[in-house]
Amino acid sequence: MSVPALMSRTSFVELNARERARALLDVGSFRELLGPFDRIESPWLARQNIVPQADDGVVVARGTIGGVAAVVIAIEGAFQGGSTGEVSGAKIAGALELAAKDAEAGKPIRPVLVFETGGVRLQEANLGLAAMADVHAAVVALRAHVPVVGVIAGMIGCFGGMGITAGLVSRLIVTKQARLGLNGPEVIEQNAGVEELDSRDRPLIWSLTGGEQRHAVGLADDLVADDADALADAVRAAFDRGAPAEHASERIAFWRARLDRLPAAPEGMALRKLWTGDRP
């Protein structure tokens, strides 16, 4: 990249959720739903002496992408680790359900999920998990009509039940700073021991679940530089491409065949040699 191009780059990773939603929507089209002044915050956090946030850490924004009606749902990773509580989860699921209603009625809609989360908020435990099931249900229902595009920028990444959501989207865009998995490294170390996974071994963690690795083995579709304009371009291109013939989570024979070809040890580079070609 040339020096002027580098100078004009805006890091997407460094943007907060609201700025991220704005960056992905066409210029001037951003309109937030259930913003901070609607004050629908978590009913559960203050009762546990935890300071809530007025938007519960999820930004839902209507607008257009490439001139087509859109909704961007962006998770704020800085608030409670981007965790899914009752309200934040209902915002995500509810927005997807409304998008599905539009899509079923033949109205164009371009839904985007911007992940930045460790998964269910344990301070709201069962209601976070219930909301997660609603989110999964809504993505599956919606993507039958229109593609659902997911973005993982980093630095938190996308884990827990939301990692499953990332597995359900029609097209997944990641940066090198992204990580994607089901169980975060700390949780694995706590449950299975440090000999299973040393959560402080950052190079190892990135070699397993980092954006570059996920893209190399076909667990992410696009690897994009950490640049707001580049990510907006990638999101538009994903919609222009349309829905895949088969979603990754439907390709049972393909992925089971891959699981029959595993390296001697679970190492990222070794896996890249085996899982090449026939990119889903």
If binding is defined by CB under 8 A, does position 35 make contact with another protein? yes
If binding is defined by CB under 8 A, does position 161 make contact with another protein? yes
- Tell me which residues in 222-241 interact with another protein (CB under 8 A): none
What's the closest the beta carbon of residue 270 comes to another protein, in angstroms? 9
168, 173, 216, 224: which one binds another protein (CB under 8 A): 168
By C-beta, is 2 or 154 nearer to another protein? 154
CA distance 179 to 163: 10
If binding is defined by CB under 8 A, does position 116 make contact with another protein? no
If binding is defined by CB under 8 A, does position 72 make contact with another protein? no
By C-beta, is 47 or 273 nearer to another protein? 47
7, 105, 245, 259: which one binds another protein (CB under 8 A): 259
By C-beta, is 1 or 254 nearer to another protein? 254
By C-beta, is 217 or 225 nearer to another protein? 217
Angle between helices 161-168 and 125-143 (to 10 degrees): 0
Segment near another protein (CB under 8 A), from 1-9, 149-157, 188-196, 227-235?
188-196
Segment near another protein (CB under 8 A), from 6-14, 34-42, 146-154, 232-240?
34-42
Q: How many residues bind another protein (CB under 8 A)?
A: 93
114, 209, 226, 231: which one binds another protein (CB under 8 A): 209
Residues 6+ apart with CB under 8 A from 141: 96, 97, 100
By C-beta, is 56 or 227 nearer to another protein? 56
If binding is defined by CB under 8 A, does position 219 make contact with another protein? yes
If binding is defined by CB under 8 A, does position 154 make contact with another protein? no
CA atoms within 13 A on the CB side of 29: 17
What is each CA distance from 156 to 71, 108, 212, in whole angstroms?
A: 22, 32, 15
